[in-house]
Amino acid sequence: MTTADRGTPSAQRTTNRFFADPLRDYALQGLGKQVSVLQAGCLAPLRELGVGQLAEDGFEISVTAVDADHPLAKQVLQDTGSAYDDVIVGDLRTVPIPQRKYDIVYCALLLERVEHVELVLDRLVGALKPGGLLLLRTGDRRSAAGLLDRLLPKPARKAIWSRQHPGVPGPFPAVYEKAVCDEGIATYTLMRGLVIAARGARRSLPERPARLSSSVRITCAAISRLSRGRFEDGHDELLYVIRKPQDRFARVV
């Protein structure tokens, strides 16, 4: 497993090349055509995909947001709704999502906080056009940070969230179903005939506030040692670029 580019210059800190580069390559392949993006999950910023830069370069980008019918999600979408061409809110298992409509589905910081993960993924994959890309960023159930997130009492999670994400509603539920890990995602893609084009892992813990970040890192390191590496401390997020084949019966090795 490779590590996604974290970047150091200012532009790289706001654009994740792991996702932005495949999106740009896709847009270039259909030069002159509108690229339709479905963002599943409201917490990750669109700038991570480099959408603004694509628009400045003359590409026509349409972005729709979809998230669960949850008070926190509604609040975030209310604050950021002007960034999207359309917003869909509802039960992710049943809310109407146009099928085979989107070139890109960007699912970020969503799977770790919802139930029925495979069903939700089925609906998002169904929204992709054949040949489209699923850009997936999720917490990892098998990471030390994921275990800590599940075990901490609500007041502690809320205190950490408010200091790490000032002004952002949260924290969201820490569900982390069994499928929310590298093995679970790999099995899902295999069973659905999807192709993992790239995979990565990274630490996402903010550097500030420094004392809190240090405390969380020390705790995660202790969890990893005490679990004898069962819960890894080297990352807390998994990243994937997953392609939906043109032929749904095709499997590419």
* In the chain, domain spans: 2-140+173-203+236-243
In whole angstroms, what is the distance from residue 228 CA to residue 223 CA? 8
Judged against a pLDDT cut of 60, whether residue 10 lies above it is answered with no
**Do 174 and 113 contact (CB within 8 A), yes or no?**
yes
Encode pLDDT of 194-219 as tens digits.
999 999 999 988 777 888 888 999 99
Give the max Cα distance, the chain: 55
Encode pLDDT of 124-167 as tens digits.
999 999 999 999 999 999 999 999 999 999 999 999 999 888 88
Average pLDDT, the chain: 89
pLDDT score at 166? 87
CATH class of 2-140+173-203+236-243: alpha beta
**Do 149 and 86 contact (CB within 8 A), yes or no?**
no
Encode pLDDT of 86-125 as tens digits.
999 999 999 999 999 999 999 999 999 999 999 999 999 9
Contacts of 132 (CB under 8 A, 6+ apart): 102, 103, 104, 105, 243, 244
The whole-model pTM stands at: 0.90
pLDDT score at 95? 94
pLDDT score at 235? 95
